[in-house]
Chain A
């Protein structure tokens, strides 16, 4: 059982927007603005897409955006493209006295 809850799947047509949720608790997502999102294509290592809730690393398209409300964080992919089809994982810092890093179970994004 994953510490953070994500929907197992999400889908959208090219050009559309899709939002993936990530629900935790006040001990992780709700307690810190340290939520990250990772994209993983089959057979590849995950890639950081969003950090500190809404910041994008250099090179990540601005079609990817993040937000948070309470204990739930969200990743929005706008203007869906075929190459966005992948698994997406959220993670959160959970405090130095507890689980340092917690992951969500992952969401398979399908571009229809």
Chain B
């Protein structure tokens, strides 16, 4: 059973960089999933941010691509998200997840972590 756990600051100042890490347990991050980030602003729908394969290949949402970096650390079995130049519009619950390579269906989700952008 794949388990994912997000960690990182719950409050980020405007114009700064949001940084989150997702620890994966019960499964090797070097095996057959993409690892991704999805966010959900309060009261709104889901938005895919980006995905990474253990080889380092990445896919980013074009609307966020200029501000997003996703990286993977296979030695620690974890992957990370950095979102730069944040504004209040980036306030959301951020989920990490595992995505099937061929279909992009999301089998496993972290519990989510609320990140608020405010001064």
Contact = CB atoms under 8 A, between A and B. Distances in A.
B111 interface: yes
B48 A106 contact: no
B45 A101 contact: no
A51 B109 contact: no
Nearest to A92: B104
- Scoring B47, B48, B51, B107 by chain A CB atoms within 10 A of each residue's CB, the highest score goes to B48
A110 B46 CA distance: 19
A58 to B, nearest CB: 11
A34 B105 contact: yes
A89 B111 CA distance: 17
A2 B45 contact: yes
A38 B48 contact: no
Contacts of A34: 102-105
A102 interface: yes
Interface string A69-108: 0000000000000000000010111001011111111100
Interface string A34-69: 101010000001111001100001000000000000
Nearest to A89: B46
Interface string B100-118: 1011111101111000000
Given A45-B95, A45-B111, A104 B45 contact: yes
B54 to A, nearest CB: 16
9 contacts: A34-B104, A45-B95, A51-B100, A98-B62, A100-B59, A101-B104, A103-B48, A105-B45, A106-B45
